[in-house]
């Protein structure tokens, strides 16, 4: 058999094999259920991947030029991209290299950020207004009052105030109820209601009782939470959260905002307390560096790793197109929307 004939047969086999491999089809070719099953034997996530591809390629908002740009992408390209992105062995080694590079370039700045956060948090703990007065719940009661034929319906909370550092001339604080085990993020972050303000304008050196009023609670949420309960029962499932807004001590008026850490550090603390993603926390650190340290060259470790990872994936032209195609999902959703300012 001549060499040319062998070459011809080899090419023919490659072509025939490619035709029988559904993953080699372009993403604008539909796949049958059997073909999807075949590919799923290699990658279990393929059915979901296929649905997302169809959602983008079938969108009427995808214009002709974009269809041309993506026309040579195959399902195999997406599978290869997925397998590389999720290759923990490969990326484990690469990410370790990235972290060493980042430490060499940004480690000193990162330590300054840690020191800055620690300084302001310690300073706040020493100076915060909660150090001047202890607030404790005593009880709450249904509250009804008819004012000019208008029925005020709600609850009256009773609190005990104990001065800690000496006589206080005035105190104002707010309180809210937060579920100990919230069933959604909104309740976890903001509580059950708007914060209720409580004021006491009479000087006191010893324990005093004050009252806060929650009115107009004719809704199912509050009715279920407060009805027929004692304070001890309420506190089994809800935490009363306080914030001292202002007070006057030794004739000096103090406002809580005067003692808080800078806004950038407060946002960082909030992200940490709420368990936000490492990307968000990294962004908060970059914000601290830019606005407090006045260093806009800093990049967080998370951002650095993502940037380096993207640069490696970007070396492959097919992977660049896969990334661009995936981003289209979000671009198409906003395409044609009118922004109202």
Tens digit of pLDDT per residue, the chain (341 long)? 554 554 444 444 444 444 578 999 999 999 999 999 999 999 999 999 999 999 999 999 999 999 999 999 999 999 999 999 889 888 989 999 999 999 999 999 999 999 999 999 999 999 999 999 999 999 988 766 655 655 556 788 899 999 999 999 999 999 988 888 766 554 444 455 567 889 999 999 999 999 987 765 555 566 667 776 788 888 888 888 899 999 999 999 999 999 999 999 999 999 998 888 988 999 999 999 999 999 989 999 999 999 998 888 888 889 999 999 999 988 998 887 654 43
Beta strands in the chain (DSSP E): 133-147, 150-163, 168-179, 196-200, 208-215, 238-249, 252-255
Neighbours of 307 (CB within 10 A): 12
Provide the sign of the torsion angle of the four alpha carbons 83, 84, 90, 95, taken in this order: negative
> Does the CA dihedral 56-59-62-66 come out positive or negative?
positive
Angle at 51 between CA 48 and CA 54, to 5 degrees: 150
The helix/strand/coil state of 121 is helix
Q: How far is CA 29 from the centre of its chain?
A: 38
61 vs 26: CA distance, rounded Å: 20
Rg (CA), the chain: 31
């Amino acid at each position: 058999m001549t060499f040319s004939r062998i070459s011809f047969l080899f090419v023919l086999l490659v072509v025939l094999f490619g035709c029988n491999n559904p993953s080699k089809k372009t993403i604008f070719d539909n796949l049958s259920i059997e073909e999807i099953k075949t590919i799923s034997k290699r990658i279990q996530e393929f059915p979901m991947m296929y649905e997302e591809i169809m959602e983008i390629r079938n969108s009427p908002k995808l214009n002709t030029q974009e269809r041309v740009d993506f026309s040579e992408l195959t399902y195999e390209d997406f599978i290869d991209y997925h397998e590389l992105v999720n290759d923990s062995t490969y990326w484990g080694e690469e990410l370790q290299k990235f972290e060493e590079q980042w430490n060499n370039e940004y480690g000193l700045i990162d330590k300054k950020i840690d020191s800055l956060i620690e300084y302001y948090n310690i300073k706040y703990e020493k100076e915060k207004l909660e150090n001047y007065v202890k607030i404790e719940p005593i009880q709450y009661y249904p509250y009804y009052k008819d004012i000019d034929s208008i029925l005020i319906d709600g609850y009256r909370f009773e609190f005990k105030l104990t001065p800690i550092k000496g006589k206080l001339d005035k105190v104002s604080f707010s309180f809210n109820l937060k579920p100990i085990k919230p069933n959604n993020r909104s309740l976890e972050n903001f509580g059950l209601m708007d914060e209720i303000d409580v004021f006491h304008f009479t000087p006191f050196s010893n324990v005093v009782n004050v009252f806060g009023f929650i009115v107009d609670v004719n809704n199912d949420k509050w009715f279920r939470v407060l009805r027929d309960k004692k304070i001890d029962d309420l506190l089994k499932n809800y935490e009363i959260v306080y914030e001292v807004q202002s007070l006057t001590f030794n004739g000096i008026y103090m406002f809580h905002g005067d003692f808080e850490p800078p806004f950038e550090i407060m946002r960082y603390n909030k992200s940490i307390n709420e368990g936000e993603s490492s990307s968000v926390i990294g962004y908060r650190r970059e914000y601290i560096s830019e606005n407090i340290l006045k260093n806009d060259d800093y990049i967080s470790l998370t951002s650095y790793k993502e940037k380096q990872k993207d640069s490696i994936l970007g070396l492959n032209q097919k992977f660049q197109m896969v990334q661009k195609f995936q981003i289209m999902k979000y671009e198409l959703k906003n395409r044609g929307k009118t922004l109202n300012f």
